[in-house]
Copies of this chain bind each other. A is one copy, B any other.
């Protein structure tokens, strides 16, 4: 292709015909800068992030190529889960595995960083989602920086000290979610520079302190526990689906990005409350049907950008028996972030059996309508933030709930369409914990050990299993500063104490218990 043809493609991809931005020469192109009235070109902004990611990966490869040649027997990793970086591609192309920095104590000051942030009831437990993302990149990853003390820079992000037990709790949180290597940040607190308040295990003065004592205890436990855990596998029946295109486009685009962030949080919270392990799944050009087929259900909240290829893959997954759940704003953009001239939800309209006739944001002074369920007499759940007014297009598609208010009262709000052996759900709004919980029940998702292990809400359940032996290590993590009672309806081994336990067992505040259970059936499940 001639250069002029390439630049014509760029003009098309960035929609530069709008507001006279057409480029005629490559030298005219720069990174997006400030614009009058803060109106950047969204398609260029999307490509900017792709460019950032490609550049960072290419630069990493430059270094890892040298390292691999000179040190062929060394692992290569980096703590890489930051913004504007396709960490999956980075890991694939340059690393042996990914590393993550886990600082769950950020949760104590989130409200002072983001004054308008919705309160997150999960607090430090929310970091389990971040760890799940790390696991989606490398099933066995490293936590390069595990928080081991109070944190903050001299001038901002002032965190209180982790409570006694929290450092150990967070360490097991990392391990339970797939970390096979954990390093504390840091050995001794720096006495100089802007990070003098990012405390390490030791204080400036090296005197014994409770953090050193806690690290000692963890070290002793890991000495015996470690070999039993390393290289075991987590498993989940459900995945929350993301992709970098929508993540990056949604940073600028307030008509879908904030909805995805809200819905992911809602689903993760609802699943946590019911002790249902969940994976993070990033759809990529290399994702296969096999990658999807291991899950009973996929929740893909608001994929504004949806290609026909992705739609086909998801349709095939459903046809073979899978379940997929979409929310409002699905499928109206192509991979450049431009809008399709096709009825919403575009490439998945047929899969979902619906189109969207009308739609509206819920304004800041408006109250979102609630849902009226056809099966149950409940109108308490709000259809939040954005409402697609759904039109059923496929005869077999079933309306599960309708809007109970606003000018579209009575219009379908949640529709299920059966395709092959599976089904697709289209929900016209943004998810909250209540609507996610209602769908979890509807989809029949449940705790994998729910038949014998009763857990209160503040306790997280994680399972790492070894296929060869059939042993399942059941991690129970108490994020609460109060004791929590769990109930075992059958006996299991408490790995840290080595004792058999059964019946009511109390977890102390911030305490951790690891049960071992050999369940060949469970091992075969995955």
The residues of A with any CB-CB pair to B shorter than 8 Å are: 15, 17-19, 37-43, 108-109, 111-112, 150, 152-156, 158-161, 163-164, 189-197, 204-207, 209-210, 252-255, 332, 336, 338-344, 355, 357-366, 407
Query: Which chain B positions have C-beta within 8 A of A364?
Result: 108-109, 111-112
- The CA of A191 and the CA of B41, in the complex, are separated in Å by 12
- Determine the distance from Cα of A246 to Cα of B341 in the docked complex, in whole angstroms: 48
Taking a contact as CB atoms closer than 8 A, the residue among B163, B205, B360 that contacts A160 in the complex is: B360
User: Who on chain B is nearest to A163 by CB?
Assistant: B407
In the bound complex, what is the Cα–Cα distance between A407 and B162 (angstroms)? 11
Q: Which residues of B contact A196 (CB under 8 A)?
A: 42, 338-339
Chain B residues within 8 Å of A206, by CB: 341
Contacts of A156 in B (CB 8 A): 38, 254
Rounded to whole angstroms, the CA-CA distance of A160 and B150 in the bound complex is 43
- Closest Cβ of chain B to A321, distance in Å, is 32
User: Min CB distance, A281 to chain B, in Å?
Assistant: 27
Q: A160-B361, A209-B358 are in contact. List 8 more A-B contacts (CB 8 A).
A: A18-B194, A109-B364, A150-B359, A156-B254, A161-B361, A164-B407, A191-B340, A204-B332
* A194 and B340 alpha carbons, distance in the complex (Å): 15
Closest 8 CB pairs of A and B: A15-B192, A18-B193, A161-B360, A191-B339, A160-B363, A108-B363, A39-B194, A192-B338
- Which residue of chain B is the closest to A15 with respect to CB atoms? B192
Of the listed residues A158, A204, A342, the one surrounded by the most CB atoms of chain B closer than 10 A to its CB is: A204
Query: Across the interface, do B160 and A340 meet the contact criterion of CB distance under 8 Å?
Result: no
Task: Label chain A's interface by main secondary structure.
Answer: loop
The 24 listed contacts between A and B (C-beta, < 8 Å) are A15-B193, A18-B190, A18-B195, A39-B155, A40-B194, A42-B193, A108-B366, A111-B365, A150-B360, A152-B254, A154-B252, A154-B255, A156-B254, A164-B407, A192-B338, A192-B339, A196-B339, A204-B332, A205-B341, A205-B342, A207-B343, A207-B355, A210-B357, A210-B358
Contact in complex: B40, A155 (CB < 8 Å): yes
Contact of A19 among B194, B210, B341 (CB under 8 A): B194
Contact of A357 among B19, B43, B209 (CB under 8 A): B209
**In the complex, what residues of B have CB within 8 A of residue A210's CB?**
357-358
- B residues near A38, Cβ cutoff 8 Å: 153, 155-156
For A193, what are the chain B residues with a Cβ–Cβ distance below 8 Å? Answer: 15, 18-19, 41-43
A6 shortest CB reach to chain B, Å: 19
Residues of B within 8 A of A360 (CB): 150, 160-161
Copies in the complex: 3
Among the listed B154, B362, B407, which residue makes an inter-chain contact with A254, where contact means beta carbons less than 8 Å apart? B154
Asked whether A254 lies within 8 Å of B158 as measured between CB atoms, the reply is yes
**Chain B residues, CB < 8 A from A339:** 189, 191-192, 196, 204
Tell me the complex Cα distance, A150–B364, Å. 14
Most chain B Cβ neighbours within 10 Å, of A17, A159, A357, A361: A361
A323 smallest CB distance to B (angstroms): 27
> Nearest chain-B residue to A361 (Cβ)?
B160
Min CB–CB distance A363 → chain B (angstroms): 4
Indicate if the CB atoms of A204 and B340 lie closer than 8 Å.
Answer: yes
Pair A154/B192 contact, Cβ less than 8 Å: no
Could you tell me if B205 and A343 are in contact, using CB atoms closer than 8 angstroms? yes
Shortest CB distance A358–B (Å): 6
Quote the shortest CB–CB distance from A410 to chain B (angstroms): 14
- Bound complex: CA A332 to CA B189 (Å): 13
Bound-state Cα–Cα, A209 to B391, Å: 12
Question: A192: which of B17, B111, B191, B194 is its contact (CB, 8 Å)?
Answer: B17
Question: Chain B nearest CB: distance from A394 CB in Å?
Answer: 17
A256 to chain B, nearest CB (A): 10
Q: In the assembly, what is the distance between CA of A318 and CA of B39, in Å?
A: 49
List B contacts of A42 (CB < 8 A): 154-155, 193-194, 196
Q: How far is the CB of A167 from chain B (nearest CB, A)?
A: 13
Which residues of chain B are near A17, meaning CB under 8 Å?
A: 192
Q: Which residues of B contact A332 (CB under 8 A)?
A: 204
Known contacts A341-B206, A343-B207; is-contact A361 B192 (Cβ 8 Å): no
B161 touches A365 (CB 8 A): no
Known: A41-B193, A192-B17. A109 touches B341 (CB 8 A): no
Q: Closest CB of chain B to A198's CB: distance in Å? A: 11
Contact A255 B40 (CB under 8 A): no
Are B204's CB and A158's CB within 8 A?
no
How many Å lie between the Cα of A197 and that of B333 in the bound state?
12
Instruction: Write out the residue numbers on chain B whose beta carbons fall within 8 Å of the beta carbon of A154.
Output: 40, 42, 252-255
Question: Please, which residues of chain B bring their CB within 8 A of the CB of A252?
Answer: 154-155
A64 to chain B, nearest CB (A): 21
The answer to whether B39 and A341 touch across the interface, beta carbons within 8 angstroms, is no
Residue of B nearest to A17 (CB): B192
